[in-house]
Amino acid sequence: MTAAKLIRAIFFIEILKGLALTFKTMFTPAVTRRYPKVKRPVQPGFRGLHALAKDENGKMKCVGCGLCGAYCPSKCIYIYTSDGKDHKKVVDRYEIEVLRCIYCGFCVEACPFGAITLSEHYEYSDYSREPFYMTKDKLLSNWDKHFAGEKGKRYFRDFWRPKSEDFIGYEGQAMFKGIKNEK
Amino acid sequence: MYIDLMLNIGMILLKIAVVIGVALLHVAYATYWERKVIGHMQVRLGPIEVGPHGLLQPIADGVKLFFKEDIIPANADKPLFYIAPVIFFVSTMTALSVLPFFEGFVIADINIGLLFLFAMSSLGAYGIIISGWSSNSKYAFLGGLRSASQVISYEIAMGMSLVGVMIMAGSLNLSDIVKAQQQYPTGMFAVPQFLGFFIFTVSALAETNRLPFDLPEAESELVAGYFTEYSGFRFALFFLGEYTGMLVMSSISAICFLGGWTVPQFITGWFPFLLQLPAWFWVLVFLAKVYAFMFFYYWVRATLPRYRYDQLMSIGWKMLIPLALLNIVVTAMVKILL
């Protein structure tokens, strides 16, 4: 054992170093975020509670095609439609079992009309299961609550509008109606 | 004659009530302080929600423990299971009775004060062993066994580290030990008895089952060690006993090595007005020393990992006891020669 090692062993240099470090750390500000009082800002594109989008006239955008329900990996979207006036399709019930949802966002991608969206809202814990069964009315009121104002509009535009709106085909390509051929 | 006696008894009872009340309050807030210190050392906040800065946290904890369900294992040895926390708690609380907090304030000013403290801390080990045995659980039993061997091993080193103090003070009475330190220019035995102070500090950590020697209650191996099966108020008794034990150990350290309630003479030489202050003022000096030592406990806990069991034993038997013996020999030689 060399002299330096002996001195280090006798005076516990390593332990003293550790003590100095913890003492210094004691005076640095804590990193704790006091959650209910101080909320963490949600990241862009956060997938939270579902909402059914409304158009400018306040009418539901959903047409009841059922693509979201067909696409859903956990099969938690239930859609019931019926024959309405002039053989128009009427969406009677649009229901999501939120407790089974895995928040993959496939329903949003599947929707050709940007009717189903995921909001930034994530604080919806409750004491029973019923509040987590989202009916059409609840989903529509979610839209009013969480996509209200300029902020909600921007959030919807940036993340949840139909991807087909961005699609530009080459000249002469066969297209569905309503998709712009050129920008 | 009778009135004198009654007054005396009343006075002693009053002192006991004051000491127990203050000590329990200190213990409650020692837990708060520990959580705060360790929290900040780990870049956390510690308790902060209950009351301003979390100051009501110990009270909330106490109320919670009091109303918790008291579960007793079906196969436990019931009488021993009931008595174990009481033994532990009573023995640590009894140790408070011989501590001089300031000039003239001590419940029992006995001549064997230091020996009495050792006796009480050994008695506390019985509570731990009995609780480990009577719980009828592997974790508790292992914790109890570990605690027994650890306390016995480190009691030797601790007792011998204080022999140097006894030699220098020429007394076992704690008040006399404090007064003897006034005769030295540094005003505290920690300087001439630095080796004894070091040994005492290390073995005090082991004696109170604190990190880095908390093997009897090693969470990662033994759940909670000897009090795994205890819940509710019985658990609280163990908890209180443990923190009172810390308070007692810090007080012994303050009294025997740091000069108790006194300050070194050169300081009173610089500031002569200090001598005019009333006797109770010096309890603040005493408490400052106790708190410094308790802060050291927390600091070590936040810094060091747990030792392995064989390391613990080899530190105790191969390092601390020979060092303590050396300290006794050197101190005695110096005492004879001077």
| End-to-end Cα, chain A, rounded Å | 79
Omega into B212 within 30° of 0, i.e. cis?
yes
Determine contact: B318 vs chain A, CB below 8 A: no
Radius of gyration of chain B (CA): 21
The alpha helices in chain A, defined as continuous H runs, are 3-10, 13-26, 67-71, 106-110, 136-146, 149-155
A25–B48: do the CB atoms touch at under 8 Å? no
A30/A21 Cα distance (integer angstroms)? 15
How many Cβ atoms are within 10 Å of A174's Cβ, its own excluded? 5
Q: How many angstroms separate the CA of residue B19 from the nearest CA in chain A? A: 32
Residue to substitute from A26, A35, A38, interface B, most B β-carbons within 10 A: A26
**Is B39 close to A30, i.e. CB distance below 8 A?**
yes
Length reported for chain B: 338
pLDDT reported for residue A167:
67
User: In this predicted structure, what is the pLDDT of residue A127?
Assistant: 92
Give how far A81 is from chain B: nearest CA, Å. 51
DSSP letter, residue A94: E
B263-316 tens-digit pLDDT: 777 777 777 777 777 777 788 888 888 889 889 989 888 888 888 888 888 888
User: Are the Cβ atoms of A30 and B40 closer than 8 angstroms?
Assistant: yes
Residue type for position A32 = T
What is the arithmetic mean of pLDDT over A47-52? Answer: 86
Residues of B in contact with A23 (CB under 8 A): 41, 299
**Which CA distances in Å does B126 have to B76, B89, B264?**
17, 11, 39
Architecture of domain A50-162: 2-Layer Sandwich (3.30)
Q: Specify the pairing of strand A116-118 against strand A77-83.
A: unpaired
Q: What is the pLDDT of residue A180?
A: 54
Eight-class DSSP state of B191: T
CA distance B239 to B225: 12
Show the tokens assigned to B165. 């103090």
Entry pTM: 0.77
Domain boundaries, chain B: 74-337
Q: Rounded to the nearest 5°, which phi and psi values hold at A105? A: 80, 10
**A31 contacts in B (CB within 8 Å)?**
43-44
Say whether B247 sits in a helix, a strand or coil. helix
Q: Is B45 on the interface with A (CB under 8 A)?
A: yes
Interface ipTM > 0.90 = no
Q: How far apart are the first and last CA of chain B?
A: 48
pLDDT of residue A183: 44
CA distances for B151 relative to A30, A70, B198, B324, angstroms = 37, 68, 17, 16
Whether chain A has a CB inside 8 Å of the CB on B192: the answer is no
